[in-house]
């Protein structure tokens, strides 16, 4: 009888969801993310615009309002992008893209726990510069989508890989005059360690 009880307890433990998040849990994540704008960033001053990618440190905090359902805030150190017009350097800008998402973490039974999320992004641009004159970019509000998975490495820790799409459009001004809208719309790839409290 003891063997049967032990076997049942062991099988229950092995079947338990990995890195399960319960209502009231908090997680904190730290890692790196790459912001990679789409290849065609619109037309500025009559020329095709492109912005390069950048990689920075990322931080996330998530609070679980229900089992497996969390509200997450993404923050990062400032990203810097060079701006090219018709292939020629035309300026640079820095930006911060804090993003608030509602994520659903699927209650799987293995060590891999996928999740999907949707949310709102606010991107603020600053320290713009250009050899052509005074450059400025309007801040942006847009939809954010999030997909990824956690791989459990300890009782409270996991390695996370995720991909985000963010709708970022910003009206650009040169010497106070509008020169068009930069359609940045990046894919964001992140790798992080996430700890549950």
Let me know if residue 9 belongs to a domain: no
Number of structural domains found in the chain = 1
Domain, as residue range, for 30: 21-196
Q: What is the mean pLDDT of residues 27-36?
A: 98
Q: Residue 70 falls within a domain, yes or no?
A: yes
Q: Output the CA torsion sign for 137, 141, 143, 149.
A: positive
Read off the pLDDT of each residue in 29-52 and give the average, rounded to a whole number: 96
Report if residue 31 sits inside a domain.
yes
Rounded to 5 degrees, φ, ψ at 144 are -130, 135
> Is residue 63 assigned to a domain?
yes
- Domain membership flag for residue 189: yes
Alpha helices in the chain (DSSP H): 2-15
On whether residue 16 sits in a domain, the answer given is: no
Within 13 A of 78's CA, how many CA atoms are on the CB side? 11
Q: Is residue 77 part of a domain?
A: yes
Are 28 and 70 spatial neighbours (Cβ–Cβ below 8 Å)?
A: no
Question: What mean pLDDT, rounded, does the chain reach?
Answer: 91
pLDDT above 70: percentage of residues in the chain = 90
CATH number of the domain to which 61 belongs: 2.40.160.20
This prediction has a pTM of 0.86
Task: Answer with the residue of higher pLDDT: 111 or 6.
Answer: 111
pLDDT of residue 19: 60
- With respect to residue 14, please indicate whether it lies within any of the assigned structural domains: no
Secondary structure of 39-68 in HEC code, one letter for each residue: CCCCEECCEEEEECCEEEEEEEEEEEEECC
In the predicted model, is pLDDT for residue 14 greater than 90?
no
For residue 2, pLDDT over 70 is answered with no
């Amino acid at each position: 009888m003891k063997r049967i009880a032990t076997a049942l307890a062991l099988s229950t433990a092995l079947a338990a969801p990995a890195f399960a998040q319960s209502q009231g849990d908090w997680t904190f994540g730290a890692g790196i993310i790459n912001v990679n704008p789409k290849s065609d960033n619109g037309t500025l001053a009559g020329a095709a615009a492109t912005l390069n990618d950048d990689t920075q440190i990322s931080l996330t905090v998530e609070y679980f309002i229900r089992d497996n359902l969390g509200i997450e805030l993404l923050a990062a150190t400032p990203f810097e992008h060079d701006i090219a017009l018709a292939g020629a350097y035309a300026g640079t800008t820095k930006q911060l893209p804090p993003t608030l998402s509602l994520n659903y973490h699927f209650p799987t039974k293995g060590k891999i726990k996928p999740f999907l999320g949707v949310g709102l992004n606010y991107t603020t641009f600053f320290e713009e510069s250009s050899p052509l004159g005074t450059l400025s970019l309007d801040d942006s509000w847009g939809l954010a989508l999030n997909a990824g998975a956690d791989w459990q490495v300890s009782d409270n820790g996991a390695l996370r890989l995720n991909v985000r799409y963010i709708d970022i459009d910003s009206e650009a001004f040169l010497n106070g005059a509008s020169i068009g809208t930069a359609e940045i719309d990046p894919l964001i790839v992140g790798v992080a360690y996430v700890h549950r409290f």
